[in-house]
Amino acid sequence: MTRLLVVTAAAAEREAVLSGRPVAIGMLAGLEVHRATTAAGLLDVVCGGVGPVAAAVATGCALRNGYDAVIAAGIAGGFPGAEVGGMVVADTVIHADLGAETAEGFSSMAELGWGPVRFDTDPALAAECGRRTGARTGSILTVSTVTGSQHRADQLRTAHPDALAEAMEGVAVHQAAARSGVRFAELRAISNRVGPRDRSAWRIPEALSALTAAFAELLSAPLTTSPPRTESETAQ
């Protein structure tokens, strides 16, 4: 039986993933794990917390339990090309704000020679997520500070024209999964546009409903399995 780990940032996202399923709750390495049996296999969902550090620590701890695949899931801000209320799946995850400010502007960690910031997801798992959920495929940015201005949104769009969404945990979950040799994907529902913070325009309930519907489809049949790639094979 396939063992799938899903990592969310917030409890509301975890509940959306598990909606309508009988759940057993246990503890693993200090984490509360919500477990359900699905047609796709055994599903464990953990709420790892907001941001890359919390997500990396939680995922690394949870992966001690042994899984075949891990999915970073939740809601996200969307760039043009991603509909509010729609789903996106990452073919690449990008640590978009890890680097240094210079006199010429922002330089990424990769530009500074400190290591890659773009990482491929597992292509078979991403394709399966896209096929089953109807999600659009593209890059998803990981940031430590959520974008709140049009100027910053334009900067990110210029630097990463293939980006469909912005969230805060994908690269961190990927890094933990890659080090454990576990297949990784990121699947997000779009709740708002990346840009100026306008809470009146956020569609969080609709995005959570879309996340529930997406996981109902994703977990409706066994997932295709394939050998995971190594960390060096997924880094760019």
Does 34 map to a domain? yes
Does 232 map to a domain? no
Does 135 map to a domain? yes
Per-residue model confidence as pLDDT tens digits over 58-115: 999 999 999 999 999 999 999 999 999 999 999 999 999 999 988 888 888 888 889 8
pTM: 0.92
Mean pLDDT across the chain: 93
CB 18 within 8 A of CB 211: no
What pLDDT shows up at residue 2? Answer: 92
Does 121 map to a domain? yes
Query: Whole domain around residue 56: which residue ranges?
Result: 3-223
Does 230 map to a domain? no
Does 234 map to a domain? no
CATH code, domain with 88: 3.40.50.1580
Cα separation, 208 vs 211, in Å, equals 5
Angstrom CA distances, 214 to 30, 73, 185, stand at 29, 11, 14
Find the mean pLDDT for residues 208-214: 98
Least confident segment among 15-29, 95-109, 123-137: 95-109
Per-residue model confidence as pLDDT tens digits over 190-204: 999 999 999 999 999
Report the SS3 class of residue 220.
Answer: coil
Q: Which phi and psi (to 5°) does residue 226 adopt?
A: -155, 155
Cα separation, 229 vs 117, in Å, equals 17
Find the mean pLDDT for residues 16-32: 94
Ranges of H-type helices in 78-164:
123-133, 150-159
Tokens of 91: 């073919």
Query: What's the structural domain count of the chain?
Result: 1
Confidence of residue 236 (pLDDT cuts 50, 70, 90): low
Does 233 map to a domain? no
Greatest extent of the chain over all pairs of C-alpha atoms, in Å: 55
